[in-house]
Amino acid sequence: MEALLFNVSGGFLEGIVRGYKAGLLTQNQYNNLTQCETIEDLRTQLSATDYGNFLANEPMPISTSTISEKATQVLVDQFNFLRSNAVEPLSKFLEYMTYAYMIDNIVLVITGTLHGRNVDELLQRCHPLGMFDTLGTLGAATNGEELYHFVLRDTPLANYFRDSVTAADLDDLNIEIIRNTLYKAYLEDFDGFCQTLGGPTADIMHNILSFEADRRAINITINSFGTQLTKEQRAKLFPTIGRLFPEGNNALARADDIDQVRQACEGFSEYRAFFEASSGGGSRANGNGAGGGESTANLLGDLSEELGAAADLEDRFFVHEVHLNKLAFLQQFQYAVFYSYIKLKEQEIRSLTWIAECIAQNARDRIHDFIPIF
């Protein structure tokens, strides 16, 4: 079935995104960036990469937030080019990719509106890939009831809200519950759509989305400790896809501390490694990225203890996410490469921003604490 769906547009655009992937920063380029003494040196080094002169019109001194914003805009321009040339079912696949950003943008605008923030200021903070024509209309609401009806009427996520959220839920106490409820509905829906495509797209995307579902279940559990969220409410936020579903999720729903979270993940080798103590020296930058000659488990063991347990775990998630998204490029004639390229590029931008921040703050002892792609 997928061979029939993979039309001329899909094949043409897959070739383009594979070309984009070849432009991801290499280990040598990362090494050159970490040797920079100033942000001006960093700009010069980046001009020799596929980023080109994206900072050429920015006056010095350039802030790290500007570097992140401009690098993100490069990615957004690439995505918009792909989307403008895509036809069904690839165009629908790319639309699904934007829903995650829409969820974050909607939650941001709702939160800001409830606190009386300026709508234009809120829109400037929204992710470009999650923008849609009527997002600004949410700011016209004066209470939770009006917000709810604006969301149902004017946003692409109306079905997720209609099925999962009520008007009474739109308050400060429930906003993170709403975010996780929407992500649960989104991940399940996106996975269902990918399964209709069949073939490698269905298999690869199921693995990627399952990991995202499991990561969210673990994070929800850990972040709920010491809060008013009940175990019953916690369980309802877990997606019904993923390797942890259902036994692992059931164990997470009952967990009272990090040790019980570790026990819930014990039966899954890749997740068990997330909680293992560091077993050796060296920084992340000394490896070749996830899967580059070392096992993921070994790479996970090299993460910095200075970040603390929660941040350390999040970095381990990022390493595994990079590994899964790199695997997507090992097969041809499938749509997962579009999703994976965006995720790899986002990790590259996080790493680039980290390096710039270390240079700006003269924190060279931390400059290698990033996650390279290769």
Q: Residues 6 or more apart from 73 whose CB is under 8 A from it?
A: 54, 128
Q: What's the whole-number mean pLDDT along residues 157-175?
A: 78
Count helices and strands in the chain by DSSP H and E runs = 18, 0
Report pLDDT digits (tens) over 234-290. 999 999 999 999 999 999 999 999 999 999 999 998 899 888 853 333 334 333 333
3-class SS at 133? Answer: coil
Summarize pLDDT for 96-142 with one digit per residue, the tens.
999 999 999 989 988 888 788 888 899 999 999 999 888 888 777 76
d(CA 43, CA 33): 9
Q: Which of 258, 221, 256, 215 is nearest to 236 (CA)?
A: 221
Output the pLDDT for position 282.
36
Evaluate the CA torsion angle 343, 349, 353, 356 in order and state its sign.
Answer: positive
The pLDDT of residue 295: 38
Mean pLDDT to the nearest integer, 307-327: 83
- Note the pTM of the prediction, 2 decimals: 0.88
For residue range 176-232, what is the model confidence (pLDDT) as tens digits?
888 999 999 999 999 999 999 999 999 999 999 999 999 999 999 999 999 989 999
Whether 358 and 367 have beta carbons less than 8 Å apart is answered as: yes
Determine the straight-line distance between the first and last CA of the chain, rounded to whole angstroms. Answer: 33
Instruction: Give me the pLDDT at residue 131, please.
Output: 94
DSSP state of 291: T
Query: What's residue 275's pLDDT?
Result: 87
Strand, helix or coil at 49? coil
Residue 165 has pLDDT above 70, yes or no: yes
Tell me what pLDDT residue 148 has.
Answer: 76
How much is the pLDDT for 127? Answer: 96
